[in-house]
Chains A and B, each alone.
Chain A
Amino acid sequence: MEYFLELLLGGLTRGSIYALIALGYTMVYGIIELINFAHGEIYMIGAFTALIIASVLTFHGFTGFSVLILASVVAVIYSAAYGYTVEKIAYKPLRQAPRLSPLISAIGMSIFLQNYVLIAQTSDFLPFPNLIPELPFLEEYSHIMGPAQLLIVITTAVVTIILTLFIKFTKTGKAMRATAQDRNMAMLMGVNVNKIISNTFIIGSALAAIGGVLIASHIGRINFYIGFIAGIKAFTAAVLGGIGSIPGAVLGGLVLGWTESFATGYVSSDYEDVFAFLLLVLILIFRPAGLLGRSAIQKV
């Protein structure tokens, strides 16, 4: 029973991270129908930026939770800036191109960013400073849930709620929904579509950065390659929940997290990633609209 609980909470933590990244995929896909392959790299860059800032600060003797907060803020700003720039360079010139073009461009961007970090930094794993304070009331349960995990789950919940409210009630959020529904119509109604697309990338990237910082401080070490696998898994989560749907991305992330957690816990840990890919292949084949998505009617 305790093992089950451990797996359940482990899956919840994992799933929360997937959900945070999946939100970015889902938002971008909702608006320009593009799988933003570079999204995983944005997450990795967020984690790296946070690591660099946090390391610089800790070397100078600063420690504690406030350093983590500061590093996170910088990471969020930088990831958002990267997301914005990637869109301007690799996707915006291809708005009118055949569907395959931006997709290939996105893959190219992903490989480019990965190797940019590899060359500018290192291929080794770097340790992330331990900045999360111990919580005395959790000590009793430390083997099933540490403070980092608690932080991840709470942050994901808060961020998702804020995002949902933002999309529902703010002017930008409404414009986003309008653009996702019908880009041309939104443009005719006076929505600045280019700006909305930029904003979508910025928000999605910021969320990915939060995920990056959380995972880095939880796992404790990162390298340039973490974005690739995390990116595909988060995409799986987005598709699982129904791409384009925000609650779907969260649900998909959690389902994927639990699937992985239980599969590795009860079946075999060698094939950890295989379970995710298998799930992806199966959903796309049997329920491409996802759990919460509606199948679109083909327009001719």
Chain B
Amino acid sequence: MNIFSELKKSLIVALWFVFLTFPIMVIRVNTIEKIIEWRWRNMLIIAIGSFLVSLLWRYLLTRKQTQTDSQLEKRPLSQLIFEEPKVYKPILVLIGLFVVIFPFIFSSYQINIMTTALMYVMLGLGLNIVVGLAGLLDLGYVAFYAVGAYTYALINHHFGLGFWTILPVGALLAAFFGILLGFPVLRLRGDYLAIVTLGFGEIIRLILENWNEFSFGPSGIAHISRPGFMGINLNLNESIIYLYYLMIFFCLITIFVINRLQNSRIGRAWIALREDEVACQAMGIDKTKTKLTAFALGATWAGMVGVIFAAKTTFVNPASFTFLESAMILSIVVLGGMGSIVGVFIAAMILILTPEYLRAFSNYRMLLFGAVMVLMMVFRPQGIVPNVRRFYRFRRVTSNPGNLYDKSS
């Protein structure tokens, strides 16, 4: 690789980006006072930034290309960790300990943030069934989340029923909506499915926004009951801690269930469907039914988190259920790795907690989500923690004289 020519290439890229970003980054017009602001400093930042990024970009691209040939056989680190109980057991114990004592070391503000992050873990894992396992790009996932949240909000508002009663109702109703939408659209090709689900998500939000008699419009519904704890009334602080533990409990259940699903007959069918639809059908798998199961299960999870969300914030309005929310959940799945439970967990923590704790980042939050999606697809489509491959135990057939092709004989 010629360093000089690489530098020259990057210089050209830098100049290109200076040109490209000039009107948007440098000029800002104040249309009220009719003043033009020239931000030349931005131009300098863009020039230096794009120069460096372009060097790094090409380096990573070439590395990725050479890697696919030579290092394909290498098992990912995550795989090695999960195969060695001596390594992963202490890690799990440490994490478990941290999780349990967390509310006692941190303020209720921090606990609240953590609870939110755990909600996204659950949403991410739910969407992971649909996108990661079954390969169905669902861009309207937030609609099912909204169904759950409004189910609790409305029933609680009108009839005063509590959290635990509505939780299964919200989940089932979301599943019902999932099937309702799934039936017609699941035979569509992948990219059409993406856009139809996006449209569906927007329809749900617009209905919530405009149908005032039903959903109280943009002002939303307030004073929703928090979850009760065996009939005891909790004060605010207690209920924050209670919700935190509740979320831990739900996350554990989710991980448990999804892990089992993944390694089941249905889970395999989902993965096969993602890999090759025609071959999958030719193996006798009912495409529509299998997709519908994935879709409905994903929706169920969103519905559950929706109920929890309404109970946590005690207030819902349509603004919480925009497309950007769907995109955020999607970028968690993409960053974590399609089908990877650990990956989704870590990704949710990174993407939700970083903007919360690094205030400087919070403005760039959505920018970050967008960039994550592009960069992960280009450089690491398998995600930060690739899905762990499972190996099966089988009965060894010892005597097999008729086998002509057994390479060992």
Known contacts A35-B191, A103-B194, A104-B334; A52 and B370 CB within 8 A of each other: no
Does A165 make an interface contact (CB < 8 A)?
Answer: no
Contact of B137 among A33, A82, A100 (CB under 8 A): A100
Contact of B374 among A49, A52, A105 (CB under 8 A): A105
Give the contacts of B53-92 with A (CB-CB under 8 A).
Answer: 61
Q: What's the count of A-B pairs with C-beta under 8 Å? A: 170
Known contacts A107-B139, A108-B331; A300 and B278 CB within 8 A of each other: yes
| Residues on B with beta carbons closer than 8 Å to the beta carbon of A118 | 366
User: When the two chains form their complex, are residues A284 and B192 in contact, meaning their CB atoms are under 8 A apart?
Assistant: yes
Smallest CB separation, B61 vs chain A (Å): 7
| Residues on A with beta carbons closer than 8 Å to the beta carbon of B16 | 85
- The chain B residue with its CB closest to the CB of A285 is B184
User: When the two chains form their complex, are residues B25 and A120 in contact, meaning their CB atoms are under 8 A apart?
Assistant: yes
Give the contacts of A103-130 with B (CB-CB under 8 A).
Answer: 103-105, 107-122, 126-127
Does A232 make an interface contact (CB < 8 A)?
Answer: yes
| Residues on B with beta carbons closer than 8 Å to the beta carbon of A89 | 374, 378
Contact of A104 among B24, B25, B137, B202 (CB under 8 A): B137
- The chain A residue with its CB closest to the CB of B275 is A98
Does B210 make an interface contact (CB < 8 A)?
Answer: yes
- The chain A residue with its CB closest to the CB of B373 is A108
Does A278 make an interface contact (CB < 8 A)?
Answer: yes
**Interface residues contributed by chain B, number (CB under 8 Å):** 59
Smallest CB separation, A269 vs chain B (Å): 10
Smallest CB separation, B25 vs chain A (Å): 5
User: When the two chains form their complex, are residues B137 and A94 in contact, meaning their CB atoms are under 8 A apart?
Assistant: no
Max chain B Cβ within 10 angstroms of own Cβ: one of A89, A100, A101: A100
User: When the two chains form their complex, are residues A107 and B327 in contact, meaning their CB atoms are under 8 A apart?
Assistant: yes
Smallest CB separation, B124 vs chain A (Å): 14
| Residues on B with beta carbons closer than 8 Å to the beta carbon of A2 | none
User: When the two chains form their complex, are residues A94 and B378 in contact, meaning their CB atoms are under 8 A apart?
Assistant: yes
22 contacts between A and B (CB under 8 A): A51-B29, A52-B23, A55-B36, A78-B23, A81-B20, A89-B378, A90-B374, A99-B191, A103-B190, A104-B137, A104-B330, A104-B334, A105-B377, A107-B139, A112-B371, A114-B366, A115-B367, A119-B363, A126-B31, A271-B206, A273-B202, A278-B203
Residues of chain A having any CB pair with chain B under 8 Å: 33-35, 45, 48-49, 51-53, 55-56, 59, 74, 78, 81-82, 85, 89-90, 93-94, 97-105, 107-122, 126-127, 228, 232, 235-236, 239, 270-271, 273-274, 277-278, 280-281, 284-285, 288, 298, 300
